[in-house]
Amino acid sequence: MSLDRQDRIDRYIRGEMPEGEMQAFERDLEKDDFLSHQYEETLLIAESIRDVAADRELMEAFRMTSEEEMKAFMKEKRSGRRFLNRASWVAAAILLVAAAILLVAVVTRILLLPPSKSMEGLYLMYYEPVGYEALVSRGSVSDEPDKLLREAFVEYKKGNYIAALRGFESAPTLTEEISFFSAICYLELNDPENAIARLLPLVEMGDKCLYFQPAEWYLSMAYLKSHQKENALSSLKRIVETDGFYAEKAKAILDKLEE
């Protein structure tokens, strides 16, 4: 791995590049497949470490157990709940010494620095996929989805977003529910443009849409992911004005973007 190349990636994610350098880097991302691959790999590792860091039990296990014990622990965790399912190869890599060196570098230079003002950095900090059960508990999902949706949601809850999306997209009717969860799948698959296309109609429906608040929040996340700053600002401001479930997080992001 080129340290200079990794340094550019880290500085871009942290929002430390001047406008001209940032535009040059984005052009390089489009034409340099190796740089693009390394950039996506860095994001996957950073997101995976963020998920680990959010789990106190798992962090304690990393500090206290041997490699073999950790493998058994992770197997148990995966059987009970989502664990690094966006990139299963990262979970294995964490246990390898060579990968550990890379992870330490990424954590030190990206995750342990002061909160990022960059859109990519803010996306990393605040994005997480919505749980199906979480929306059910808030009354935002039909209690008895049809067979096709049940199968798609089984895959969704496993973190198999490609299979879940295939099920959602093959449904005969594009319901609000299917549009919303398809959008989350697209975000998990690093396709914010298609996520935006699914979320915008839900947001435009306003309070008539059962998914209005979460759709607006994930629309703002998709705008951050796709570096559409003005659209992200507009979406986040609407969230703050409605003073709903996501208002506090939206206000925190706005404060960082507008500093």
- Tens digits of per-residue pLDDT, 155-177? 998 889 999 999 998 888 888 98
Residue type present at position 218:
Y
Average pLDDT of the segment spanning 118-140: 71
- pTM given for the model: 0.61
Residue 138: per-residue pLDDT: 43
**Best-predicted range by mean pLDDT among 42-46, 54-58, 153-157?**
153-157
Question: In degrees, to the nearest 5, what angle opens at C-alpha 249 toward C-alphas 243 and 255?
Answer: 100
Indicate if the pLDDT at residue 29 is higher than 70.
yes
Residue whose pair of structure tokens reads 């622990």 in the numeric block: 73
Confidence of residue 83 (pLDDT cuts 50, 70, 90): very low
